[in-house]
Amino acid sequence: MQPPQAQRFGDWAHKAIAKHYKKILSHEAGVLADRDPEELHQMRVGMRRLRSVLLGFAPALVVPEAMAPKQVGRYGRVLGKLRDVDVMTLTFRERYLPQLPTVEVTILEIALKKLAKRRQKQLTKVRQFLNSARYGEFKGATQAWLDQPQYQAIASVDIQLILPDLLLPQLSELLLHPGWWVGYSPKKLSKKQLEKLFATDSPILHDLRKAAKRSRYTREIFAPFYGENYADQLQAIKKVQTLIGLLQDDAVLQEFLEKALGKTFAQELPTLCQIFHDNRHQTWHQWTKLQHQFLTAEYRYQLHQTLCQPEPRPPVAQKSTSN
């Protein structure tokens, strides 16, 4: 018997691409008008998820260059530079300013004025991109593909037959990442050891975060085909992304302050720097628990076994979570 249409690899790909492309278009006007930073955030999320769909379903797809995953990633990075400035501004104003003494608030406001100028430059670049022929080609190519999709032969296969083959390679890539072993120790690291680690190994942790994000986005695409264990493991991967992100965020903020205020900014903002320090150590304590969980043989075996056992019943398409 022929599998239901929604169960075919290619049909599921078409639905996912259409969904995320529609989301991108729905926020375009809001981004151009700069009405609300959330518009930019959602448009960027749409780009990221579209790229994940194109990568996840790549064996089934024949797509034009303008909507290739590499190109969509580049479009997302244009939006991402402006979004990064928005996140930095929001973090300074909502998380840190209320905790600072008046003298440090005054100094931080000087840095925030420079950040506002940077935002205007990035907003101009985003508007130029959204009005460019390059972005127009992307929209034209994507809509043309949705109207007349092109597939590889495997697109006609029941998706449940090949789910493990799609997901296991990415799981292996995630679990073999060297970032898992950064700072791994059965004993608690000293403050001096941690500061050295933050100074030398942050790029490796940042790359692990990106790997976790890729894994999360791909897994969310196929979540309707799995059950509770899959959902729990997806949340654990999301937590990996979140905790490493918190470690990285403060490092990015300090890097900006050094450029905006000079290398002596720590002397001018001692309270803020102490908060950064305390946050890093608290987050690292939470991270080590998750790190140890992912490095146990039993949990890694469970991750593999779950992917090999998709649910037998036909799935109902689910709404994905936010960013």
The pLDDT score that the predictor gives to residue 185 is 85
Choosing from 157, 179, 208, the residue where a domain stops is: 157
Encode pLDDT of 155-200 as tens digits: 999 998 999 999 999 999 999 999 999 999 878 888 788 888 888 8
Summarised one tens digit per residue, pLDDT across range 20-37 is 999 999 999 999 999 899
Residues 148 and 163 in one domain: no
What is the separation of C-alpha 255 from the centre of its chain, rounded to a whole number of angstroms? 21
The whole-number pLDDT of residue 251 equals 87
217 and 95 both lie in a single domain: no
The predicted-structure confidence for 60-106, as pLDDT tens digits, reads as follows 999 999 999 999 999 999 999 999 999 999 999 999 999 999 999 99
**pLDDT for residue 9 is more than 80:** yes
Q: What is the pLDDT of residues 240-287, one digit of tens each?
A: 999 999 998 888 999 999 999 999 999 999 999 999 999 999 999 999
Closest C-alpha to 276, from 268, 267, 290, 266: 266
Helices of type H across the chain: 9-33, 37-56, 69-90, 102-130, 133-147, 159-175, 191-222, 228-261, 265-268, 270-294, 297-307
Tell me what the pLDDT averaged over the chain comes to.
92
Output the DSSP codes for 141-163.
Answer: HHHHHHHS--B-GGGGSBHHHHH
pLDDT at position 1: 33
Could you tell me the two tokens for 275? 């908060």
Residues 121 and 33 in one domain: yes
- Give 8's strand partners: 158
Query: Residue 141's Cα: distance from chain center in Å?
Result: 25
56: left (phi over 0), alpha (psi -120 to 50) or beta: alpha
* pLDDT of the residue at 89: 96
The 10 Å Cβ neighbour count of residue 36 is 12
Asked whether residue 192 falls in the same domain as residue 149, the answer is no
Instruction: Read off the pLDDT of residues 103-144 as tens digits, 9 standing for 90 and up.
Output: 999 999 999 999 999 999 999 999 999 999 999 999 999 999
At residue 323, the pLDDT reads 57
Specify the CATH number for the domain of residue 106: 1.40.20.10
Question: Are 106 and 11 in the same domain?
Answer: yes
Give the domain-ending residue among 133, 157, 181: 157
Residue 249 and residue 280 in contact, taking contact as beta carbons nearer than 8 Å: no
pLDDT at 301 over 60: yes
Which residue has better confidence, 5 or 236? 236
Q: What tokens were used for 291?
A: 């790190």
Domain C-terminal end among 115, 136, 157: 157
Residues 26 and 116 in one domain: yes
Is-contact 244 212, C-beta < 8 A?
A: yes
Which pLDDT does position 90 carry in this prediction?
95
Q: What is the pLDDT of residue 40?
A: 97
- Do 169 and 314 lie in one domain? The reply is yes
What is the Cα–Cα distance from 81 to 119, expressed in whole angstroms?
9
The pLDDT value given to residue 313: 56
Task: Decide if 247 contacts 291 (C-beta within 8 A).
Answer: no
What pLDDT, on the 0 to 100 scale, is given for residue 305? 97
Domain count, the chain: 2
Q: Are residues 121 and 212 in the same domain?
A: no
CB 69 within 8 A of CB 20: no
pLDDT score, position 4? 39
pLDDT at 216 over 80: yes
pTM recorded for the entire structure: 0.87
Are residue 257 and residue 284 in the same domain, yes or no?
Answer: yes
| Whether 135 contacts 129, CB under 8 Å | yes
**Of the candidates 14, 54, 101, 36, which has an alpha carbon nearest to the alpha carbon of residue 217?**
54
- Asked if residue 139 and residue 190 are part of one domain, the reply reads no
- Weakest-pLDDT range from 190-194, 212-216, 238-242, 296-300: 190-194
Q: What are 158's strand-pairing partners?
A: 8
Mean pLDDT, residues 311-321 taken together: 54
pLDDT tens digits, 218-233: 999 899 899 999 999 9
Instruction: Tell me the backbone φ, ψ of residue 4, rounded to 5 degrees.
Output: -55, 145
- Burial of residue 7 (CB within 10 Å: 0-12, 13-18, 19+) is middle
322 and 178 housed in the same domain: yes
Cross-strand bridge partners of residue 151: 61
- Lookup: tokens for 229: 């264990």
Q: Could you tell me the residue range of the domain that residue 299 belongs to?
A: 158-323
Q: Are residues 117 and 165 in the same domain?
A: no
Residue 316 reports pLDDT greater than 80:
no
Q: Write the DSSP assignment of 175-203 as a string of letters.
A: HT-GGGGTT--SSPPPHHHHHHHHHHHHH
- Give the type of residue at 265: F
- Confidence band for 234, pLDDT divided at 50, 70 and 90: very high
Q: What does DSSP assign to residue 60?
A: G
